[in-house]
Amino acid sequence: MSLTQLCERLLNWTGLPVEVWVGLVVAVIIFLFMTVIVLAVVYLFRKFAGFIQLRLGPRYVGPRGVLQTVCDAVKLLAKEDIIPAEADKGIFIAAPLIVFLPAYLAYIVIPFGQPPHFQPKDLNLGILYVLAITSITVVGIITAGWASGSKWATIGGMRSGAQLISYEVPMSLAVLVPVLISGSLSMKDIAEMQGDRIWYWNAFNISYFGLAFIAFVIYMICALAETNQIPFDLPEAESELVAGYNVEYSGMRFAFFFLAEFSNLFVVCAIATTLFLGGWYAPLPFLPDDGFWSLLWFMLKTLTLVFIVLWIRSTYPRVRIDQLMEFAWKRLFPIALIDLGIVSLIVALR
Amino acid sequence: MPLSESQLEEEIKGKLAGVPVSFNVGKSGLEAHVGREHLIELCKLLHDEPSLCFDYLRCISTVDWIEDGQIEVVYHLYSMAHGHCIIIKVRIPREEPKLPTVSGIWAAANWLEREAYDLMGVVFDGHPDLRRILLPQDWEGHPLRKDYSYDPVEFDEWYAAKVRRGEIP
Amino acid sequence: MNGGAVWWVFFYALSAFTLFNALLVVTGKNLFKCALHLMLVFLGVAGLFLLQGAFLLAGVQTLIYTGGVTTLILFAIMLSEEVVGRQRQLVSRGVSIGISAAICFLGIALTIFGTAVAQLPENYGVHIAPVAQFVAEASHLPMGNVRAVGVALLTQFLVPFEFASVLLVVAVIGAIVIARLAGGK
Amino acid sequence: MKRNSDSGIGSNYPWHKQRPVIEEPRPGEALRADRLIVNMGPQHPSTHGVLRMILTVDGEWVVAAEPDIGYLHRGFEKLAEMRDYDGTIFLSDRWDYLASMSNNIAMSLAIERLLDIQVPERAQWIRMLVAELQRIASHLVFIAAYGLDMGAMTPFFYCFRERERIVGFFEALCGARLTYHYVRVGGVAADLPDGFLEELEKFIPMLQSGFDEIDELLIYNPILIERTSGIGIIPPHLAVSYGLSGPMIRASGIPYDVRKCHPYLFYDAVDWDVITHEACDSWARVWVRSQEMRQSLRIVKQVVERLKEMPAGEVRVKLGRSIRPQKGDCYVAIESPRGELGIYIVSDGSGKPYRVKIRGPSFVNLSIAPRVLPGVKIADLVAILGSFDLVMGEVDR
Amino acid sequence: MHYLVLSALLFSIGIYGVLTRRNAIAILMGIELMLNAVNLNFVAVCASLTPNQITGQIFAAFVIVVAAAEACIGFALIIAIYRNFAKVNVDDINIMRW
């Protein structure tokens, strides 16, 4: 009686079909994986920002400060969360969930490694699913701004909402380029289409005369704006008059926002690796990239992208709100459009 | 190119028809003592005259000579073009410290005069917005006057009265 | 598509969820909460599409409705209501009129549906245009649905597709002009 | 026209009674502009110190701005009248708390001018050395704070690393890190500790490379340039008429520097040039300050050579127990990092100054804000106010 | 068959919403509900009656597109009305003159 048969009998006994249970287990795994990733990224960011700014990052909690973020998380959970008087409770509690869910749901589609057992569920919609999900965060942010009652948070919510929307458009166009190149929406196919040679990857694919690279750059810029990173981090800018949308949140709910922000960052970089940097493939053919190796390569690439984002985050000043909007509509949008047009021409001719 | 004190003195005397101005050279350059009525006339001359062209008002100070019952207002001027500077002193009686404003000529005078009004009580008529600048608007008295008595007990009662009247929450 | 018992469980759950939220949208007191419930309705409808195998449609619905239209509603609410302060309660008027209209419509609709389904000839849909032949085999596979819709859009329904794009452009420009003209800023 | 024709159930429903009162939009008034009075400060992260700006805001644009100051008013001028001459030096540290050396120098020069005493040459050179180092430290704080306003976290640490070293030298010199009262009437409190000049000489090249790093990191950063250039324009004639001074007036193209126009100490014996920029906008003000740091470094180099050759002599004139200048008044101005810091002292022969008037450069520089700020976007407000480099201690005195 | 009942219910709720709401935005929400109900119908009919054809789904897609455009225009109008009359209460806005 091997373990699987035991599980089989157990699951049938509960009457529900097996897939439901598998789904639940996968969901729990993803949640744990995500929290670990977020804690690691936050720790890395603090250490790295410290290095750039001539100071040491967290050093005291745990060996070389590793447990610092864990303690932060515990502190946030334990802190008493206050609900402002004139905030309407219902939405106030719902808002962080709306913001957090998309970041969490997007993990299902990302192929972390060799498809069969490293990708939770390969949806044929892939990219469309991810775009649809990330557009829900906008609603969550606006509700957060509105629900916290204070005039400043509402205006902050609207401003960051407008920012997210205006950067979603060029982002979707940039995402369409690799979809066109590989001809399918599903993330698995796009990654496989790129093959395991570095010059086959979309970003560095010379056969498209660097157009895909332009799309990659546009995607990263929009990714910065979507996750509210430094050049575009207007909502939380403390020196601006208008405070951010999460100004009234504290304790557990703020942890949700915090978790959502960093897991969004990781998700965006993961998608970038799948679309533009050849998913789990190794840069050179002779390097091993099946089975566990594929996971390693994928994480390596994603973390380098996260590294770049954090690097930009700690060196650049903030862009002004109208420059930010103008940059999105007047510069990114046309370039993305033209880029898409030319690539579709090439794909049609080829 | 900057005129020395003596040349400056002749220059001004030449231009000034009938305005009683007395000059002397103090520790920090030429001083012109003038009456309250002719202040504006002198300032306009100093400002507009191309050869003098005092376009930079460095400072307005007020001194409270309590023995001879006068307040002395001192203007320090400097000319960007020529590089020479002059000091104008005006003495006004302590009881009715009225003086025409020069904020029309030099915009810097706006705040400096408001500060003089706030701390010394010199009223500059014609000033666009003569309000207290450093002290709270409802402060009584002008601290820099020699006869300004400030005793903390009296202040506490004044403050408590205001709180009772509900002006301060 | 109509699978076994699990399919029905999901169907009833989703439809109950959607109807419940729709009722809340209609009878909600606070406008902002109505908008959120509307968003949940959209998600419910997207789920129902999935049950029907219309995968692409579910994705499009989520992207356009939950992402776009709900945000549009939220912005409209914010711009037109006082930003903060008294939440104007939505006084519903003529409740009786509404209910009566809804019920009589329901009656008419159900009778039509009932009779129509009964009279349908059994071989409805047999005569399929040649192009649709390719579409037929592909439509069942999940991946196929997306491909099928794509192919159909650009072959069989090209003209309406172009019209739709023109309409969208006109709509966007029109909206900007209206908002800007009145706004004057 | 019957209002509710559609319902037709009868017209006794309440809403018939309320005649719809719609105020016809008067022809001229296109849009009900809802002006908002907004308070920025006195505890706002980007106003350095306790400055409260009362802004009337119309949507995104600032319509009027009125600074409300006086929160840090400690009444120095009245205090000075109750202290003897030597005591006023200790007051001067707290005017412009970022550049307390220059305050001390201004006060002591004014008193020395009253007493007509000759300060030993070595003391004058030390005063110049200390003044220029203080200018570099103060400009570093400005650039760090300005970077923070713009959202760049990293330049803050680079600037403060350099500043820590300078403050370390000051500590070696006079034991204090912020309020030094090192410069006294008649000279300097103590001579340079031995090894001080060699240490300083080793430090100068490091500072030079530090400046280039900060320039490349913040001043020539494209986002910063795009964000600060073209806003807060102060044309030259306005700058002069409003009596601005220091980097504010030099950024509008007018080479007015107290060290050049009214030379004091040995500034005319040292070669350096006045930095001006024609752009008259916030970025120009930031650029002028960063270039001025380099000029100050040049001066420091030359002063260190001079001090090296000079034998270690006495650095302070022996004055009697209490200083009693005869009757008279005098005005002395020096170039503090923020502009022309002028002291007007009137003495009536007694041991206490009769009247001390402090001309704070930030006070006069701030007076142009109500003229420059209207018509600016809220987002730019922070950039413009930051570039004024205000220190509230000096504004409120 | 069950889908038809569901979409009819949804549609009637939409009608109720449109008729009883005084706020213009709520009315537009009601319209959105109705459009969704229609979409549901399209997809249901297409899947049940013609399993191997997807014309129904394409039509539903077009309905979504048109509905989005309509919503966009609708809300622009509402904002314009609010800007001039400072209220979005449908009863009072019945004067054609702007």
Pair type for strands B85-93 and B29-34: parallel
Spatial separation of the C-alpha atoms in residues C43 and C46, rounded to whole Å: 5
Which has more confidence, C6 or A48?
Answer: A48
Between these two residues, A220 and C86, which has the higher pLDDT value? A220
Q: What is the rounded CA–CA span in Å between residue B110 and residue A309?
A: 50
Cα separation, B165 vs C13, whole angstroms: 65
* pLDDT classification of D145: cutoffs 50, 70, 90: confident
Residue C154 sits at the chain E interface (C-beta within 8 Å): no
Q: What is the pLDDT of residues D330-377, one digit of tens each?
A: 899 999 998 899 999 988 888 888 889 999 898 999 889 888 888 888
- Cross-chain Cβ contact D158/A238 below 8 Å: no
Mean pLDDT, chain A, whole residue set:
80
Where is pLDDT greater, at A124 or A180? A180
pLDDT score of E24 more than 70: yes
Domain boundaries, chain C: 3-92+124-184, 94-123
For chain B, counts of helices (H) and of strands (E): 4, 7
Whether D234 and D372 have beta carbons less than 8 Å apart is answered as yes
- The verdict on a CB contact (< 8 Å) between C101 and E70 is no
User: Which range has the worst mean pLDDT, A144-148, B142-146, D259-263?
Assistant: A144-148
Asked whether the predicted pLDDT for residue D31 surpasses 60, the reply is no
Contact D44, D145 (CB under 8 A): no
Q: What is the average per-residue pLDDT within A135-153? A: 81
CATH of domain C3-92+124-184: 1.20.120
The DSSP result for chain E, as a single string, is -HHHHHHHHHHHHHHHHHHH--BHHHHHHHHHHHHHHHHHHHHHHHHHH-TT--HHHHHHHHHHHHHHHHHHHHHHHHHHHHHHHS--BTTT------
User: What is the pLDDT, as a whole number, of residue A98?
Assistant: 85
Who among A17, A124, A136 is closest to C142 (CB)? A124
| C146 and chain A in contact, CB less than 8 A | yes
Interface of D with C (CB under 8 A): 7, 9, 13, 15, 30-31, 59
Read off the amino acid at residue A239: S
Averaged pLDDT for residues D3-7: 38
Residue E71 is part of a domain; what is its CATH number?
Answer: 1.10.287.3510
pLDDT reading at D320 higher than 50: yes
**Which is higher by pLDDT, A234 or B125?**
B125
Residues forming a β-bridge with D340: D335
Query: Residue A240: what pLDDT?
Result: 58
Nearest chain C residue (CA) to A129? C59
pLDDT at position D140: 92
Mean of the per-residue pLDDT values for chain D? 82
Amino acid D132: pLDDT? 92
Indicate the range of C14-23, C138-147, D217-226, D309-318 predicted with least confidence: C138-147
Domain count, chain E: 1
Residue D9: what residue type? I
**D2 pLDDT higher than 70:** no
Task: Quote the pLDDT of residue C58.
Answer: 85
**Which residues, at least 6 apart from D306, have a Cβ–Cβ distance to it below 8 Å?**
D125
Per-residue confidence at D43, pLDDT binned at 50, 70, 90?
A: low
Please report, rounded to a whole number, the percentage of residues in chain A having pLDDT higher than 70.
87
Neighboring chain D residues of C184 at a CB cutoff of 8 Å = 30-31
Q: What is the extent of the structural domain holding E18?
A: 2-97
Chain pair D-E, CB pairs under 8 angstroms: 11
Task: State the nearest Cα–Cα gap between D345 and chain A, in angstroms.
Answer: 40
Percentage of chain A exceeding pLDDT 90: 0
Q: What is the mean pLDDT of residues A188-199?
A: 75
Q: Is there a contact between C146 and A125 if contact means CB atoms under 8 Å apart? A: yes
> Does position A87 have pLDDT exceeding 80, yes or no?
no
For D219, name the nearest residue in chain A, comparing CA atoms only: A317
Cis, bond preceding D374 (omega within 30 deg of 0): no
Which of the pair, D197 or C121, is modelled with greater confidence? D197
What confidence score (pLDDT) does residue D139 get? Answer: 92
Task: State whether residue C53 sits within 8 Å of chain A by CB.
Answer: no
pLDDT band (50, 70, 90) for residue C109: confident
Higher-scoring residue by pLDDT: A201, D368: D368
Between CA A250 and CA A149 the distance in angstroms is 15
B70 three-class SS:
strand
Is A349 within 8 Å of chain D by CB?
no
A102-116, D293-307, E55-69: range with lowest mean pLDDT: A102-116
Statement: residue A333 has pLDDT above 50: yes
Whether C139 and E1 lie within 8 Å, measured CB to CB? no
**Measured between CB atoms, does C184 come within 8 Å of chain A?**
no
Cβ B58–D342 below 8 Å, yes or no? yes
* Helix ranges, A53-150 (H): 68-78, 89-105, 115-118, 127-147
Confidence check: pLDDT of C138 > 50: no
pLDDT reading at D39 higher than 50: yes
* pTM (two decimals): 0.81
SS3 D57: strand
Q: Which amino acid is at D194?
A: D
Yes or no, beta carbons of C135 and E52 under 8 Å apart: yes
Please state, in angstroms and rounded to a whole number, the distance separating the CA atoms of residues D141 and D162: 10
Does residue A116 surpass a pLDDT of 80? no
Tell me the shortest Cα–Cα distance from C182 to chain D, in angstroms.
9
Query: For the residues D231-255, what does the mean pLDDT come to?
Result: 89
Mean pLDDT, to the nearest integer, of A261-268?
A: 87
Cross-chain Cβ contact D31/E94 below 8 Å? no
**What is the residue-averaged pLDDT of chain E?**
79
Q: For chain E, say whether D15 makes contact (Cβ under 8 Å).
A: yes
Q: Is the Cβ pair C18, E20 closer than 8 Å?
A: no
Between positions 37 and 56 of C, the ones with CB within 8 A of D are none
Query: β-strands B29-34, B21-26: how paired?
Result: antiparallel
Lowest mean pLDDT among A229-243, C94-108, D372-386: A229-243
pLDDT at residue D47 tops 70: no
- Tell me which chain E residue has its CA closest to the CA of residue C174: E73
Contact of chains D and A by CB distance (3 or more pairs under 8 angstroms)? yes
| E73: closest chain C residue by CA | C175
> How much is the average pLDDT of B103-116?
88
Q: Do C67 and A150 touch (CB under 8 A)?
A: no
Question: Nearest C-alpha of chain C: how many angstroms from D368?
Answer: 29
Query: What percentage of residues in chain D have a pLDDT greater than 90?
Result: 12
Chains touching E (at least 3 CB pairs under 8 A) are: C, D
Mean pLDDT on A285-305: 80
Q: Which of A94-103, A118-127, A133-142, B138-147 has the lowest mean pLDDT?
A: A118-127
Q: Confidence class of residue D30 from pLDDT cuts 50, 70 and 90? A: very low
**Is residue C175 pLDDT above 70, yes or no?**
yes
Task: Quote the mean pLDDT of chain C.
Answer: 73
Examine the pLDDT at A5 and tell me if it is beyond 90: no
Is the pLDDT at B51 greater than 90? The verdict is no
Residues of C in contact with E32 (CB under 8 A): 38, 65, 69
> Chain B closest CA to D147's CA: distance in Å?
29
Segment A290-316 mean pLDDT: 84
- Match 């219902």 to its residue by tokens: A90
Three-point CA angle D125, D129, D130, nearest 5° = 115
Residue in chain E lying closest to C98 (CA): E16
Higher-confidence position of C81 and B146: B146
Confidence of residue D135 (pLDDT cuts 50, 70, 90): very high
**Do chains E and A touch, with touching meaning 3 or more CB–CB pairs less than 8 Å apart?**
no
- Asked if residue C129 has pLDDT above 50, the reply is no
Q: Count chain C–chain D contacts defined by CB atoms under 8 A.
A: 10
Express each pLDDT in B21-50 by its tens digit.
788 887 778 888 888 888 888 888 888 888
**B110–D355 C-beta distance less than 8 A:** no
In terms of Cα–Cα distance, which of D253, D262, D337, D245 is closest to D295? D337
Angle between the N-to-C axes of helices C142-154 and C130-138, in degrees from 0 to 180, rounded to the nearest 10: 160
CB contact under 8 A, D7 and C97: yes
Confidence at E91, pLDDT banded by 50, 70, 90:
low
